[in-house]
Chain A
Amino acid sequence: MRILGCLDGTNAEQIGHAAQMFSATEPLTIALLTVIDIGPREDIDRIRGRFWRPPMGHHPITQEMQAVETAAAQEILRAAHAYVEKAETLVRRGRPELEIVNAAAEWKADVILVCSRAEYGEPPHLGPRSVGHVARFVLDHAPCPVLLLRPLAGEQFPISR
């Protein structure tokens, strides 16, 4: 079985644990994917347009931007390797939601592991609108089954009828 784990910089442990659940059943091939989001760069270029400036292009700071983006992606993958030792690593650049579904198709994934949204130290996001736009797009457009990993929701039960 080929499992594609989607890393967002905050979910290495969750993806690692979910991959381990599968490992008991059959031999697995796991790939860990991290996407360098180009959205903020597009925004910066749009803002430059408003001030009549051309896109960043070969501006000196773009090299620095690329270097920190690559370093961040490598660190995310390193952190995930602590939970999933034997895994291929994939780094892509683009819109995360598009890159995840395209990578799943190209890599011929049997299952995609994705978290409902990135959590930056805040309490778990549960209830309505708890699934972020990336996970939502993956659920709608993935070429294979998707396992949506969510925070444990034990405390909210029983939900009043």
Chain B
Amino acid sequence: MFLFFPLSEFWRTLFTSIIGLLTLAGIMTRPFRWSEARIAMAGGGALLLLGLIRPADAALTLLRDWNTFLFFLGMMGISAMAEAAGLFDWLAVQAARLARRSAARLFLNVFLLGTVITMIFSNDATALILTPVVYVLVTRLRLPVLPYLFACTFIADTASFLLPISNPINIIIMSRYPLNLFSFLRLLFLPSVVVITINIGIFYLLYRSQLKGSFNINNLPNVEKAVKHKAYFRYTLWVLAVVAPSYVIASAFQFPLSAVAVMGALLLLGGALFWKRTTLLEAGKGISWSIFGFIAGMFVVVRAIEDTGLTIKLGNLLLGLSGGSSFGAVMVGTFGSALGTNLINNVPMAVVMNSSLSSVQHAAPAIRNGFVAATIFGCDLGPNLTTVGSLATILWLLILRQRDVEVSGLDYFKVGVLVTPVMLFAGALTIWLLL
């Protein structure tokens, strides 16, 4: 609309900021039980309709981020097809067998399994697929459920910066600020190991009394039963054995990771269709299509805000807060991103930070790299603070708690508040030492 009625810069900035803030506030509070995707698309649509962003600019923004969209698609496809093969059930049963009846060893094995799955399939697979599988397993073994569920949920985020593919957030940030595999591993692998160790250690202390028991190995399901179709299962293992190193090689040569993910998903889909383990309709249900609308909406909203120069101002503010030192850059990047992820979820925060970090492009390499690595670290690990959602969700759960009824979501929050700041500080310190 305003394309036809030119506005002054002040009014354009004001309208864009209002729509941007309303979109972020909507994502935090989800009015009328609207999904985040609907709110983000409404925000992007309003900016387009009002002419506050040119359609060509919006289209270019979305086209520029094709790697992110395709990576999400491939990643979700691979996880869904591996789930159809029974891979996660099989791995969980193996973890229980290796635990040799000990509840404490099974707890450690769940952490290790979660780490491996997050590393190769991304945090999505651990949080969404492994968690219910572990729930079934520990219920069957008559063990207390909560410590194992917490282990799955937390490790999904704690292990999500071991490799670039371990979290789609890494792809979003690295699409704008490419880090080659060596730099990524140099800055983030050791911090990852440090925070995983802290996570396991604190959880053992917290749940030591519930992990003293043992389980009856006879309650374990037969390994054969976990495998739904032998030939497809073997095929899935072969495909994954090719896909996993391909990810590493593609990262090393900065080849688009989405190509590997989509190719892997297509190979698995082909096998699943051949052995009649799925249909196209069923496979489609394994994909969260709304996430594409959510990301597209957020990209458009943040691009419009970027045009007003506001995100640059945020970047300058962060740079100022860092005091121009690499230590400040890492701490501000880590804690700023972590706080933001708990306010507006990690994808919007990563997109906002992507835009803001253009201010640090010309800073000294240690400061620039410090900000980029800390943003990845903070956006990946930050959600562990509230785990079950955002601070808004936690406030709602606290209101429910007033009724004296134990609200399970709050258990996550209590643990998250205890363990996450320690992990954030220790990880940030390690990143700084590695700069």
Write the residues of chain A forming the contact surface with B, with a CB cutoff of 8 angstroms.
9, 37, 39-44, 46-53, 56, 59, 61-62, 64-65, 68-69, 71-72, 75, 95, 97-98, 118, 120-122, 125, 133-134, 137, 140-141
How close is A125's CB to chain B, nearest CB, in angstroms? 8
- Answer whether residue B145 sits at the interface, using C-beta atoms and an 8 A cutoff: yes
- Answer whether residue B291 sits at the interface, using C-beta atoms and an 8 A cutoff: yes
Check if A42 sits within 8 Å of B345, measured CB to CB: no
Given contacts A9-B142, A44-B149, A137-B404, contact A65 B136 (CB under 8 A): yes
9 residue pairs A–B, Cβ–Cβ below 8 Å:
A9-B142, A40-B408, A43-B149, A52-B37, A61-B133, A68-B136, A97-B406, A120-B144, A120-B210
Most buried by B among A40, A47, A51, A134: A47
Check if B288 sits within 8 Å of A51, measured CB to CB: yes
> Among B37, B131, B294, B406, which residue has its beta carbon within 8 angstroms of that of A133?
B406
Check if A64 sits within 8 Å of B136, measured CB to CB: yes
15 other contacts beyond A52-B37, A68-B140, with CB at 8 A cut-off?
A40-B135, A40-B145, A43-B388, A47-B153, A49-B388, A50-B389, A52-B35, A52-B288, A52-B291, A65-B139, A71-B140, A72-B140, A120-B144, A120-B210, A120-B211
For residue A37, which residues in chain B have a CB less than 8 angstroms away from its CB?
145
**Which chain B residue shows the least CB distance to A95?**
B405
Check if B131 sits within 8 Å of A44, measured CB to CB: yes
Check if B406 sits within 8 Å of A42, measured CB to CB: no
Check if B209 sits within 8 Å of A120, measured CB to CB: yes
- Taken together as a complex, chains A and B put the C-alpha atoms of A62 and B209 apart, in Å, by 29
For residue A134, which residues in chain B have a CB less than 8 angstroms away from its CB?
406
- Answer whether residue B362 sits at the interface, using C-beta atoms and an 8 A cutoff: no
Most buried by A among B131, B208, B387, B408: B408
- Answer whether residue B26 sits at the interface, using C-beta atoms and an 8 A cutoff: no
Given contacts A50-B389, A52-B37, A120-B209, contact A39 B103 (CB under 8 A): no
Given contacts A47-B128, A52-B35, A120-B103, contact A40 B209 (CB under 8 A): no
Chain B, 223-275, CB within 8 A of any chain A CB = none
- Answer whether residue B276 sits at the interface, using C-beta atoms and an 8 A cutoff: no
- Taken together as a complex, chains A and B put the C-alpha atoms of A95 and B404 apart, in Å, by 12
For residue B383, which residues in chain A have a CB less than 8 angstroms away from its CB?
50
How close is A46's CB to chain B, nearest CB, in angstroms? 4
Check if A137 sits within 8 Å of B406, measured CB to CB: yes
> Among A49, A98, A122, which residue has its beta carbon within 8 angstroms of that of B212?
A122
- Answer whether residue B213 sits at the interface, using C-beta atoms and an 8 A cutoff: yes
> Among A9, A39, A69, A75, which residue has its beta carbon within 8 angstroms of that of B406?
A39
- Taken together as a complex, chains A and B put the C-alpha atoms of A26 and B24 apart, in Å, by 65
Check if B132 sits within 8 Å of A46, measured CB to CB: no
Check if A47 sits within 8 Å of B37, measured CB to CB: no
The tally of residues in B whose CB lies under 8 Å from a CB in A reads: 45
- Answer whether residue B409 sits at the interface, using C-beta atoms and an 8 A cutoff: yes
- Taken together as a complex, chains A and B put the C-alpha atoms of A140 and B405 apart, in Å, by 11
- Taken together as a complex, chains A and B put the C-alpha atoms of A62 and B127 apart, in Å, by 16
Given contacts A40-B149, A56-B132, A122-B212, contact A140 B404 (CB under 8 A): yes
- Taken together as a complex, chains A and B put the C-alpha atoms of A71 and B137 apart, in Å, by 12
Question: Binary interface profile of B, 101-127, with partner A (CB < 8 Å = 1, else 0)?
Answer: 001000000000000000000001001
How close is A96's CB to chain B, nearest CB, in angstroms? 8
Question: Binary interface profile of B, 376-395, with partner A (CB < 8 Å = 1, else 0)?
Answer: 00000001000111000100
For residue A69, which residues in chain B have a CB less than 8 angstroms away from its CB?
139
- Taken together as a complex, chains A and B put the C-alpha atoms of A9 and B145 apart, in Å, by 12
**Which chain B residue shows the least CB distance to A132?**
B406
- Answer whether residue B46 sits at the interface, using C-beta atoms and an 8 A cutoff: no
- Taken together as a complex, chains A and B put the C-alpha atoms of A56 and B128 apart, in Å, by 10
Check if B288 sits within 8 Å of A53, measured CB to CB: yes
- Taken together as a complex, chains A and B put the C-alpha atoms of A46 and B271 apart, in Å, by 32
For residue B133, which residues in chain A have a CB less than 8 angstroms away from its CB?
61
How close is A92's CB to chain B, nearest CB, in angstroms? 15
For residue A39, which residues in chain B have a CB less than 8 angstroms away from its CB?
406, 408
- Taken together as a complex, chains A and B put the C-alpha atoms of A65 and B212 apart, in Å, by 25
- Taken together as a complex, chains A and B put the C-alpha atoms of A52 and B387 apart, in Å, by 13
Check if A49 sits within 8 Å of B389, measured CB to CB: yes
> Among A43, A44, A52, A98, which residue has its beta carbon within 8 angstroms of that of B36?
A52
For residue A44, which residues in chain B have a CB less than 8 angstroms away from its CB?
131-132, 135, 149
For residue B409, which residues in chain A have a CB less than 8 angstroms away from its CB?
42-43, 46
Chain B, 392-435, CB within 8 A of any chain A CB = 393, 404-406, 408-409, 411-412
How close is A56's CB to chain B, nearest CB, in angstroms? 7
- Taken together as a complex, chains A and B put the C-alpha atoms of A51 and B118 apart, in Å, by 14
> Among A52, A71, A121, which residue has its beta carbon within 8 angstroms of that of B214?
A121
**Which chain B residue shows the least CB distance to A73?**
B139
> Among B210, B288, B393, B406, which residue has its beta carbon within 8 angstroms of that of A122?
B210
Check if B393 sits within 8 Å of A46, measured CB to CB: yes
For residue A133, which residues in chain B have a CB less than 8 angstroms away from its CB?
406
Check if A72 sits within 8 Å of B404, measured CB to CB: no
Check if A68 sits within 8 Å of B139, measured CB to CB: yes
- Taken together as a complex, chains A and B put the C-alpha atoms of A47 and B151 apart, in Å, by 13
**Which chain A residue shows the least CB distance to B30?**
A49
- Taken together as a complex, chains A and B put the C-alpha atoms of A43 and B409 apart, in Å, by 6
Given contacts A61-B133, A65-B136, A120-B212, contact A50 B142 (CB under 8 A): no
- Answer whether residue B146 sits at the interface, using C-beta atoms and an 8 A cutoff: yes
For residue A121, which residues in chain B have a CB less than 8 angstroms away from its CB?
103, 212-214
Check if A40 sits within 8 Å of B291, measured CB to CB: no
